[in-house]
Amino acid sequence: RPRALSGIQPTAGSFHLGNYLGAIRQYVALQETHDAFYMVVDLHAITVPQDPAELRSNTRLAAAQLLAAGLDPDRCTLFIQSHVPEHAQLGWVMNCLTGFGEAGRMTQFKDKSAKQGADRATVGLFTYPILQVADILLYQANAVPVGEDQRQHVELTRDLAGRFNSRYGDTFTVPAPHIVKETGKIYDLQDPTAKMSKSASSPKGLINLLDEPKVSAKKIRSAVTDTDTVVRFDEKEKPGISNLLTIYSTLTGTGIPELEQRYAGKGYGALKTDLAECFVEWVTPFRERTQEYLGDPETLDAVLAKGAEKARAVAAETLASAYDRIGFLPAK
């Protein structure tokens, strides 16, 4: 079986609809076809300041949400990044292989550090894509299910895998991004040209999965659209409606042409009301399952312990072969 690897940050507490449609849905699908490794990336979380107690509880909450979304510990390996020390170890190796300018070209760093200010942005935030390279290469992943915003980081991973392989001999599988065209970028409901994001300036366009469903339903009903009334998928002219159609279609499995027909002559209001209802129907059992996993910490801990053990076995083997190729003297 080909391998898949991806990670998600525990920082915001609740995952948002962009995380789910862009990434987590693909995690669930790929566990059927791939030997899949998914992790809660707590090492990445500390690139910005975190409250220790909150980080700990958000890490559990992230794992619970992944299980609630459909990850099955019998069909995939779910673990916490800091439980596998090889991530930080191979991360260092990858740091030493990356050009300073090359790292500086990562657009996510440029955006985030511009927001934080040069003095507050940490070196960890700068090198975070390089740790991500190590995350992926440790598992010899073929496919990396992510949203569109992560494409550049997977490209960096491909470059560094190739560089290491040509310098030291074939060691790493060169991975490919697995980005679903339709849902690779879900947009903010108030600003449908911007990515839905946990760090948006206003929470109005952000659908958090763990919020009260009626709060999210209201946000959906108040989504920004346009002054026209025709329900038609047209990302350029009608980004708001197109985003809602994408969300609607993915959550219900109904094709976009069918939705366009269904709402012909009915206007935007009917579409928003129905989508809000579909979302509530989908999210209610998701929230319940999340609470069930959180309410049973023993089971959750056992899943994560087993996951870490499986992940460590693979990661240790890859790290050992990389260290050997580099010329590190083996410990006796």
Window of 180-188, 220-228, 241-249, 278-286 that interacts with ligand AQP by CB under 6 A: 180-188
- C-beta of 295: minimal distance to ligand AQP in Å? 24
**Minimum CB–partner distance for residue 206 and ligand AQP (Å):** 8
Taking CB under 6 A as the rule, does residue 250 contact ligand AQP? no
Active site residue 185: no
Least distance in angstroms from the C-beta of 293 to ligand AQP: 19
Interface map 8-47 toward ligand AQP (x if CB under 6 A):
xx------x-xx--xx------------------------
Active-site annotation holds for 110? no
Q: Does 192 bind ligand AQP (CB under 6 A)?
A: no
Stretch that binds ligand AQP, among 126-134, 195-203, 221-229, 286-294 (CB under 6 A): 195-203
Q: Are 272 and 248 in contact (CB under 8 A)?
A: no
Q: Binding-site residues for L-tryptophan, please?
A: 135
Q: How far is the CB of 11 from ligand AQP (least distance, A)?
A: 7
Q: For ligand AQP, how many residues bind (rule: CB under 6 A)?
A: 19
Distance of CA 3 to CAs 19, 142, 158, 174, 304, Å?
21, 5, 15, 11, 19
The answer to whether residue 112 is catalytic is: yes
**Residues between 124 and 163 that touch ligand AQP (CB under 6 A):** 146-147, 149-150
Does residue 293 contact residue 64 with C-beta atoms inside 8 Å? yes
- Counting other chains too, the contacts that 322-328 makes at CB distance below 8 Å and 24 or more residues apart are 322/90, 322/93, 322/164, 322/168, 322/171, 322/172, 323/93, 325/164, 325/168, 325/169, 325/171, 326/93, 326/168
Q: Which of the ranges 30-38, 94-102, 189-197, 301-309 carries the binding residues for ligand AQP, by CB under 6 A? A: 189-197
**Of 125 and 160, which has the nearer Cβ to ligand AQP?**
125
Which parts are annotated binding residues?
9-11, 18-19, 135, 147-149, 186, 195-199
List 115, 181, 185, 198, catalytic entry: 198
- The residue number whose beta carbon is nearest to ligand AQP equals 22
Least separation in angstroms between residue 252's CB and ligand AQP is 18
Which residues contribute to the annotated binding site for ATP?
Answer: 9-11, 18-19, 147-149, 186, 195-199
Minimum separation from the CB atom of position 204 to ligand AQP (A): 15
Of 15 and 263, which CB lies nearer to ligand AQP in the complex structure? 15
Q: Angle, to 10 degrees, between the axis of helix 123-138 and the axis of helix 151-168?
A: 70
Q: Which of 195, 214, 238, 306 is catalytic?
A: 195
Would you tell me which residues interact with ligand AQP (CB under 6 A)? 8-9, 16, 18-19, 22-23, 146-147, 149-150, 184-186, 195-199
Known catalytic residues are: 112, 195, 198
